[in-house]
A and B are shown apart, each in its own frame.
Chain A
């Protein structure tokens, strides 16, 4: 049996090892991918060079139009290796415009879903307010599009999804993660810096993944699918969700449910991340028995 497990591990085609462009192509039906505003259009950040930072020709944001499970779709992938996948003026506008065009297509009667691949630390600090504004616009675009077609957020790793972009992920119709991915508002380093190492030890990888990791996010219902780092399986998970369509209720609309869950937690004691899984859902059960 363990031989079989090794074979699975060796034969898998890692999705995490792909760059943003390869990831986008891998999710679209074969032969349908067409890149919009690609590297040769040279729409790059006008702010980086004046701050002595080398820009990238696509500003670390890849937009691909194509089909998923035979249906029109747009995939927008952030390149985690360029400036930590951070959102600047240009990358933000590319993602927002792609979702707005998908929304316009839906309104014209062409159902078009969106998949956003978030490997990002959030706002690009060199572009400050422009990055913040970009995320605000992106959130408005997700809200507009998700009424018509699913907006699927995929965080595969290894950067993960943090800062304002974690809030954007929270608005998605579905969140898909791998065990290697992390999702959270404040990154471990930020928490340690602000509240001290007693609060959160950012060098303790087991602790970080136990809290921010895909497995925990899935177990606590903050991610909808947990997939193996294997390209065909990741693509299959995305296809399934595209076909599933818009969920009856979006996670971010369930305000009362989440408020209750938080109220029901006893914050005077320190929880273990595993124990938290059942504590988090305990309030729901109580609700049902009443």
Chain B
């Protein structure tokens, strides 16, 4: 066989999917060891273009691009902590996991963390991730003071939100899903903390109205707040966990962590990974019901100021490596929308529609968002955000999600691009009204359309 058949495999071939493991595509995957690698890759890119990929935690097709050159950014992972200024300057491939191991012992926490710490700084900006503190402290990019981005000509740009000549490009890159350029470095503010522990109030709520009423009434008193909802129970009962970083004086007397020397010790539990192959039918209504029941019961009815570790509070799922495999070979998707407060009824409607088609969500999370930032494609806006994980193999799911999309759009809401793997281009255009404004800036940064992704193609971004 000759080596140059147009059908021959290439040593750089990689089949990529998002965290949901749906709709794979092949790309030419190359490790970016230096910024020069990225510039050179952009300047020599083929007709299918280039894309940066971090740790692949987007659920859908954001970090894959069929036929393109995809930069594995995780080799670019050094960072500098400026203790005086309380900021960190990190390469784009640095993970939040790496950062936490360094900054917590120094008395700092990242300004925003998603439900997993296995995301890169570049990905956090490109998706403009949010955490349990969005209602008070905004999304990740709200804490970024500068970043360096390689544009579609292969040139480096220093972008700052406070610099009128680059602010537009800064905000187009925030939430821009990697389509304005390759983020290579960013500086952002950290949060000073006294201990590596959390002080948490937990409330078991009898139904969804109870959960939502308590959140409206009390979230402002907490830095962090999130509700887990039992998607199987028609009551929509849930567990509300809210808290803040524990101060030294909140640790119980005699607790070794109360010592100045050990208060900031940070360890992450390492638990086994999910098995490499799981049959598709394992997650069914019965197992989801059992899990939800257990989860609800495991929480105390009402407990105040419980001391909890950072991983237990922020990243419980990171304890099981590759937990996305439990959905079987056809994968899963996460449906996450935000709607204004006036459309809070959509939370209940969504859960009941999913139950009706036998696709109860395994893990369902409800949160309140605060104000939006200036980025045209940033997801958060004031109101409710619901995230529901559902297996993709369900044949009745597609029309139900399309119906829900229409309701979300009609109420002025939208879907999170970092989670999306199935919305229509029309839905996207209707719910991100500043799309054309973003496209104009993107076209200036990438005049020949070098940056491509399956998400971008699917949604005509």
On whether the two chains bind one another, the answer is no
